[in-house]
Structure formats: structure tokens, C-alpha cells
Amino acid sequence: MKNLKNALLLKQLYQLKHLGYRYTSASVFKENEPNLSLPDTLDKLKEQALKCHLCELSKSRTNVVFGEGNPHAQIMFIGEGPGATEDSMGRPFVGRSGELLTKMIENVLLIKREETYIANIVKCRPPGNRVPSPTEAHTCQPFLLKQIELIKPKIIVTLGGTAYHYMTGDETGITKVRGTLHQQNGYTLIPTYHPSFLLRNPSAKKEVFEDLKKVKELMENG
């Protein structure tokens, strides 16, 4: 919750600066501390995310892309951030890379996309599809961590280097770590390539196929 607190503090400081303040006292912020605990249901959490203005991305978004799927999913997919199609529809992975992700889920894991839960590191589109900044990713992180806490997936598949990095804190490149298993916070995390990388590099599909085979085995055998 520290990131959320810092982001709110920074926002208040900018507001004061805008009003002409050059100095202020720390006690100003102690008087009216907002309740920073996040709700304990996905619906309420979504409501809160839809109203979020804690980072720059909120200024240019069309829709907040909260995430979607089975609230009791055994498996969660985490991407980087919404693209143009996702931003206009308010749903994750519904553009070209989403079509590929859906095929990967249905043809390799042999389950329906709706049985999984799909979310992103940031819930608003980074303009021009740039990589989210560390501030944006950290500010948005409490929402994702709460989603994970509520859904309690057994397996999390991170899609691409950015999702792996922010979910583990590890900066090792995706080429090196893809397909490796990481036990953390009660789930197994497995990084693989991002579907948009596969659209540009179709020959890497065989590696993702191998990674998803591992996922299937984990789903069946724990």
C-alpha cells in the first residue's frame, strides 16, 4: 500500500504547487488521511480502478482495462498494458495479440479463455503502446496484487519481459527466463513470450508451445 500512499502524496503536492505553494508542512497530510485499503471483492475493486487518476495514464485513456475472466480461475495471464483496441473496448487482450492468446489457451491448454483470468501490469493504455514507466507500474500494482489475492490462482503466466519483471522484481531478460518455474506467494509463476512478440517472430511460437505444455502439466498434476 506504500506505493498508493506515495502516489497520492505526490498528487497532493502537485495540486498544491499548481495553487502556488512553494513550501508546505508535513502535518497538512496527516489531518485527512484517506482510507487506502482496497475492497475485498473484484466488483468493488473494479469500481475503484475505474475511478483511478493516480498516474499520467489516466489522462489519455478511453477506458480502464481492469481485467476479466473467471473470478475463481486456476490460471491467470498477465500482460503489460492495454493497446488501442483494449483501450477502446475496456477489455484485455482483444486485439490481434489477444486473438493469438485466445488460440494459445484454447488449442494448447484445451480450456476456454473464459475459464482463465486475464489482466495487465497497468490498467490504462500507455500512449503509443510504449512500455509503462516504473512509476506507472508501481502505482497500479496494488490493484493487480489485490486481484491475485482475491482470485487465488494456482498458476500465473506472465506474458513478456515487463510482466515478468514487475511480478518478480527480477530483471533477467525474457529469453533467458521463459519456461522457468517460480514459486511465490502460493502460486507458480511461469514466464513466456508476449503474443505481440510472436506476431512479429512466429518462429518463437514453438518455445511458447513448450512453456504452455508445462502449464498444462501443472494444471493437471499440481
Q: Which is nearer to ligand URA, 98 or 142 (CB)?
A: 98
H/E stretch holding 1? none
H/E stretch holding 79? strand 75-79
- Signed CA dihedral, 6, 120, 72, 213: sign only: negative
Q: Which is nearer to ligand URA, 166 or 187 (CB)?
A: 166
The closest residue (CB) to ligand URA is: 79
Among 102, 120, 139, 188, which residue interacts with ligand URA (rule: CB under 6 A)?
120
Q: Which amino acid is at 49?
A: A
First to last CA, the chain: 31
Residue 81 touches ligand URA, criterion: CB under 6 A = yes
Q: Find out whether 9 and 29 touch, Cβ atoms under 8 Å.
A: yes
DSSP 93-149: S-SHHHHHHHHHIIIII-S-GGGSEEEESSSSPPGGGPPPPHHHHHHHHHHHHHHHH
Q: Closest separation between CB of residue 148 and ligand URA, Å?
A: 16
Q: Assign 91 to helix, strand or coil.
A: coil
Site for ligand URA in 60-79 (CB under 6 A): 79
Q: Closest separation between CB of residue 117 and ligand URA, Å?
A: 13
Site for ligand URA in 83-112 (CB under 6 A): 83, 86, 92-93, 95, 97-98
Q: Closest separation between CB of residue 191 and ligand URA, Å?
A: 13
Q: Which is nearer to ligand URA, 83 or 142 (CB)?
A: 83
Q: Find out whether 148 and 69 touch, Cβ atoms under 8 Å.
A: no
The site map against ligand URA for 182-211 (x = CB under 6 A) is --------------x---------------
Q: Which is nearer to ligand URA, 92 or 161 (CB)?
A: 92
Binding site for ligand URA (CB under 6 A): 79-83, 86, 92-93, 95, 97-98, 120, 196
